[in-house]
Amino acid sequence: MNGVNRSGKLAARLLGTRASYVTQCLGGPRTASAAVTGGPAALVAALVREFASDSAVECTATVTSAVQVKQTSICQAESVVRQGLSACTTSYGSQYRERGSDRLRRALTRGCGGFACFPGARGISSSAVIGVRDHPYPHAHTSPKDFDIPSFDELRKNVELRVKGKGIMSLKKAQKEVISAVLKDFEESSWTRDESLELYVNSELYPVVMSRFRRLVRRGMSPGLYEAIHKLGPGQEMRQVLFGLFAVFVVREYKQEIAEYRELVKSCDLRLPHTWYTTARSMSRRLIYHAGPTNSGKTYNALEAMKAAQSGVYCGPLRLLAMEIYDRCNADGVYCSLVTGQEKQVVPGAEHMACTIEMVSMTDEVDVAVIDEIQMIGDPFRGWAWTRAVQGVPAKEIHLCGDMSALPLIRQLAEDMGESLEVNMYDRFTALEVEDTPVELEGYGSVQAGDCIVAFSRRDIYAIKAQIEAESKLKACVVYGALPPETRRNQVQLTPIW
């Protein structure tokens, strides 16, 4: 152990760090003797061999020979380490390299950033041994500008020359291993993935593109590019060099895939929903807000504008309202179709349609659209349908009918869409008065023609109907949601006895 400590002190002087940190790294006599006899490069190689696997020693001829021959060059030290790790990996699998790398990283980065500097030479850190991110590389003093990096077109030309048997560079096994290590670092880097996503290369396309790019770099390798790979090694500077080539490769070779994914991303952007409706955005639409209470004529004026137009659509909250408009338009000589969630009545030659708000088309262009009960846009369950209709109905003129509560929101939507908004205010024709006494006290015989009785169960509805017809000369029609469409229509069309 004393020999180890003495070797640690010697290695500390060579490495420019504290002896205690180096002593912790020296796991046995072989490593200690290497520190004494082999110099800094041999020490690094021996540490890798020691931590990788005892059983791999016989297979690391490159490392063993490096221990025997004293080397002090930084480039040689780096080459020794990389070749040693590669030999261990090739012979015994990646687990030896992984285990050795992890142990070496922990030991060498405990103090002074790992390996600090050799006397008379530039520094080498643990990242030079195992490629740890953000550690200075042995050739950190160099810059990509110092190398003759080929353009993408030159890279492709080199590939064509190689196919013809005129390759400008023949790679040896060790050189191929260096290139593979750099390309692997480039592919697995989170920075590369993030930057690729900016080019609209998604996770599904990324491995396909990267596989072809690796093949392109290997086959189109030039002396200038290899010099950059060898001296810069795995790291951010080399990633940036490769990404310049990668970006051109992606844009040229995967133009259609990128365009398709870009459009998909745009369609998934929920921040600007009005941009989803391209037909409506291509039109110059005009919004008219009819604001007022019930029985004020706002819906009547909107419907008159729709019937006077060559084509139009009415969007209502209830099937019953859609059927009422359908019947009224056809009775007035305006051919109109009906579309609800329950039925579809297509009138031949009709240019007008009455529908429930959820069924309105976002692609069929019309002259006038009427969106009734616009205040329902604030409903937590069905409000989306009114928002969709306001933003997406392809109509030259859109009439919005309802009370004042939705006006601020409609103003904001109109501003976002860049469309004009006109507001028409209405007053109630007749005053709304509350009876002094409940109907039940006077009996249902006091009900007058045209009155509406609202009940909240089917049993009550039929009971009240029977009472009205028994106590008065009136006939009462019954309407509720569960009635079949045709039955509802017949009930609505019943003429009360006035």
* Distance separating alpha carbons of residues 496 and 464, to the nearest angstrom: 16
Q: Higher-confidence residue: 42 or 413?
A: 413
For residue 31, the surrounding DSSP H or E stretch is helix 29-37
Kindly report the average pLDDT of the chain as a whole number.
75
Return the exposure string of 50-78: e unless at least 16 CB atoms fall within 10 Å of the residue's CB, then b. bbbbeebeebbebbbebbeeebbebebbb
Q: Please determine, looking at this structure, whether the domain spanning 273-425 carries the CATH number 3.90.230.10.
A: no
Report yes or no on whether pTM surpasses 0.75: no
Q: What is the pLDDT of residue 77?
A: 44
Q: What is the pLDDT of residue 173?
A: 85
Q: What is the pLDDT of residue 484?
A: 76
User: Are 385 and 357 contacting, i.e. CB atoms less than 8 angstroms apart?
Assistant: yes
Residues 6-35: what's their mean pLDDT? 43
Domain ranges of the chain: 152-268, 273-425, 434-497
Residue 466 structure tokens = 């029977």
Residues 370-384: what's their mean pLDDT? 95
Looking at the predicted structure, is the pLDDT value of residue 53 above 50?
no
pLDDT digits (tens, 9 = 90+) for 449-481: 878 888 888 888 888 888 888 888 888 888 887
* Confidence band of 131 (pLDDT split at 50, 70, 90): very low
Per-position DSSP letters for 226-287, written without gaps between them: HHHHHHH-SSHHHHHHHHHHHHHHHHHHSHHHHHHHHHHHHHT-TT-GGGG-HHHHTS--EE
Look-up of token digits 């692997």: 184
User: Are 43 and 13 contacting, i.e. CB atoms less than 8 angstroms apart?
Assistant: no
pLDDT digits (tens, 9 = 90+) for 338-356: 999 888 999 999 999 999 9
Q: Worst-scoring range by mean pLDDT, 69-78, 128-137, 290-299, 470-479?
A: 128-137
* Confidence band of 383 (pLDDT split at 50, 70, 90): very high
* Distance separating alpha carbons of residues 372 and 238, to the nearest angstrom: 63
* Distance separating alpha carbons of residues 134 and 209, to the nearest angstrom: 26
Paired with 290 in beta bridges are 401, 424
CA atoms within a 13 Å half-sphere pointing along the CA-CB vector of 12:
16
Query: Which letter does DSSP use for residue 346 in this model?
Result: P
Looking at the predicted structure, is the pLDDT value of residue 70 above 60?
no
User: Are 344 and 338 contacting, i.e. CB atoms less than 8 angstroms apart?
Assistant: yes
Looking at the predicted structure, is the pLDDT value of residue 48 above 60?
no
For residue 338, the surrounding DSSP H or E stretch is strand 336-339
Q: Worst-scoring range by mean pLDDT, 49-58, 212-221, 364-373?
A: 49-58
**How big is the chain, counted in residues?**
498
pLDDT digits (tens, 9 = 90+) for 71-106: 334 344 445 445 555 544 444 444 444 444 444 444
Order of strands across the sheet with 352-356? 344-345, 336-339, 352-356, 312-316, 366-371, 395-402, 286-291, 420-425
Q: What is the pLDDT of residue 86?
A: 53
Paired with 315 in beta bridges are 355, 371
